[in-house]
Amino acid sequence: MISSYRVKLAVSIVVAIIGLFAAGKLLLRSHETGSRAALEKAITPVVRGVLDGGYDTRPTKETVESDIQHAVQRTDALIRTVRSDAIPSPRRADLSMAFGERLSAVIDPDYMRDLRARVARGQNVEVVEPDEETLDSFRIRRSSFELLLMDVSALEVRPIYEHGKYVATNAIGLGFGTGETKLGGKFAFPMANLDPVKDQLDIVEVRLPMEIPVPMGREGEKRSRAIVGFQFVWSEERGQWVPWVIKTYGNPNDGVFGFPF
């Protein structure tokens, strides 16, 4: 009788421990989920509109060149409507060309063509054929960025700085998470170390919604709609627009990859 009672008691204790353990795991998972949710930033209506928007251009290997040309033509048309001292008429054509070069480097990359384009805009590097290690790195970037979907109809041209005065709308204030890619060191473009305000720079951004790769976990990635802004600074010395940065405006809870130049 005592033995039977002890067995029942032992079983009851084990069941209770298992129940507490399961409840503890559930509570822990709920706490972790709640903590992650508490850390996430709210999506504002402006950001939601960008994230949930569509695409009017889906490049393929056969259409990508004409798709880029279409984006350049739209840029050229929009530039003519922008009233800004940063973009007087003599600077317009080169801005469209500079944007086309950068967009090509992202969605239709070609190592030697893009290298020559960067050097022509002041990057101080040798124009030489890449070694195998460099090519491998280039192929990895290409696999993530080539043929990205775009919404060319939503393309915009906007001044960021006019003679050192910031004239753009603050994206963070609208709720966007932002990322920035800028080349430095020996790969830097001319004027990269200047201060937009102190040095009274003219900086213009050509931007459009694109489906971009977003980091997910340690090695994974997903795709998300965001605005990608290609910014250029005017070089009076060179008489041309020089790449400044590539900005992304997207989900404030997502990370970003650096964009290829």
pLDDT in tens, the chain (261 residues): 444 434 333 334 333 333 433 334 333 333 333 444 447 899 999 999 999 999 999 999 999 999 999 999 999 999 999 999 999 999 999 999 999 999 999 999 999 999 999 999 999 999 999 999 999 999 999 999 999 999 999 999 999 999 999 999 989 899 999 999 999 999 999 999 999 999 999 999 999 999 999 987 666 788 999 999 999 999 999 999 999 999 999 999 998 888 988
What is the predicted pLDDT for the residue at 130? 95
Q: What is the pTM of this model?
A: 0.84
Residue type (1 letter), 9: L
**94-98: long-range contacts, CB 8 A cutoff, minimum separation 24:** 94/240, 94/241, 95/157, 95/204, 95/206, 95/232, 95/241, 96/72, 97/72, 98/232, 98/240, 98/241, 98/242, 98/243
What is the predicted pLDDT for the residue at 199? 98
Q: Which residues contact 216 (CB under 8 A, 6 or more apart)?
A: 222
What is the predicted pLDDT for the residue at 256? 84
pLDDT in tens, 34-53: 444 447 899 999 999 999 99
**Distance between CA 214 and CA 200 in Å, rounded?**
34
CA geometry: angle at 205 spanning 204 and 206, to 5°? Answer: 130
Tell me the two tokens of residue 94.
């080169």
Q: 64 and 140 in contact (C-beta within 8 Å)?
A: no
Tell me the two tokens of residue 26.
């559930």
What is the predicted pLDDT for the residue at 218? 66
pLDDT in tens, 65-101: 999 999 999 999 999 999 999 999 999 999 999 999 9
> Which of 198, 190, 194 lies closest to 166 in space, CA to CA?
198
What is the predicted pLDDT for the residue at 172? 87
**Rg of the chain on CA atoms, in Å:** 26
Q: How many CA atoms lie within 13 A of 53 on its CB side?
A: 25
Task: State the sign of the Cα–Cα–Cα–Cα dihedral 108, 109, 114, 118.
Answer: positive
What is the predicted pLDDT for the residue at 216? 79
